[in-house]
Amino acid sequence: MPKDPQLFSIGEFSQISGLSVKALRFYDENGLLKPAQVDAGTGYRFYDAAATERAWVIARLRELQFSLGDIAAILAGCGDEADLLEHLARQRRAVEERLRAGRKVAKALAQMIAAERAAAQLAAAGKFTFEEKLLPPLLVAGLRMKGRYEECGRAFSTLGRALGRHFAGKPLCLYYDGEFREDDADFEPCFPLRGPAAAPDGIVVRTLPATRCLSLIHQGPYRQLGRSYKRILAEARHREFTVTPPTREVYHKGPGLIFKGNAQNYLTEIQLPFAAP
């Protein structure tokens, strides 16, 4: 046994560190906690005082269910106690950030679950039914564009500033794609007009032709329109109608210019022009 009073036997160091002899041997074999000296004749391991901080950190991290790989990553590059403590402080900040992100995700999931349950209840209530309609010719001012669907609001604002005094009905939007497109959707926000009006460049005043359509009122947020599209498209297929774009959405009740209101009460009419079999 070494005569150096600064060295501790593995049993003594086990008492100091709170790690079993078996654990100390395991951490030595895995490169996490090397002894200061190994007796060449007996193979006995001896540890110095400098290893105590490292041993305490390993013991504590194992209590916190850190994996050996995580512990090795934390200890890597830490030359002294100050390095180790600063690294642990960074790890703590990273964990706190993940916890904050996790709380945000949990809150968002709770909101999504509540919204989906409310949407399912509205759909099950069956408040609105399908209608076949003959839509008369309609004079509109339209701003056709390509982009993301949420840009529709900006287009309605542009139309309002240019021709608001001529409006004579609920806003609507024409959709030309016949499919969902994320970034390059082809759509045309419109307002009905009471009569012909001069429009600035980019805005087209024209008459939409008369057409037959299958109609369904959707109640609820716009992001849940897919539920109603599922119903009306299935109904159109059942009736053997061929949908002929552009399809229409008429916004009977939605957010105001200042207050958004309760999205559960929004009313959007989906109109699918069709050719009968």
Task: Provide the CB-side half-sphere exposure for 214 (13 A, CA).
Answer: 23
Collapsing DSSP states into helix, strand and coil, what is residue 124?
Answer: helix
User: How many angstroms separate the CA atoms of 157 and 83, rounded?
Assistant: 57
Q: CA distances (Å), 150 to each of 146, 176, 184, 202, in order?
A: 11, 16, 12, 19
Write out the CATH class of domain 7-76. Answer: mainly alpha
Q: How confident is the model at residue 119 (pLDDT cuts 50, 70, 90)?
A: low
In the chain, pLDDT over 90 holds for what percent of residues? 44
In angstroms, the first-to-last Cα distance of the chain is 99
Domain boundaries, the chain: 7-76, 131-275
pLDDT confidence of residue 135: 96
240-267: per-residue pLDDT in tens?
999 999 999 999 998 865 556 788 889 9
Residue 10 in this model has a pLDDT that exceeds 60: yes
Q: For residues 115-138, give the mean pLDDT.
A: 79
pLDDT confidence of residue 178: 87
Residue 274 in this model has a pLDDT that exceeds 90: yes
Q: How confident is the model at residue 216 (pLDDT cuts 50, 70, 90)?
A: very high
* 131-275 is a CATH 3.40.50.300 domain: no
pLDDT confidence of residue 149: 92
User: How many angstroms separate the CA atoms of 88 and 136, rounded?
Assistant: 71
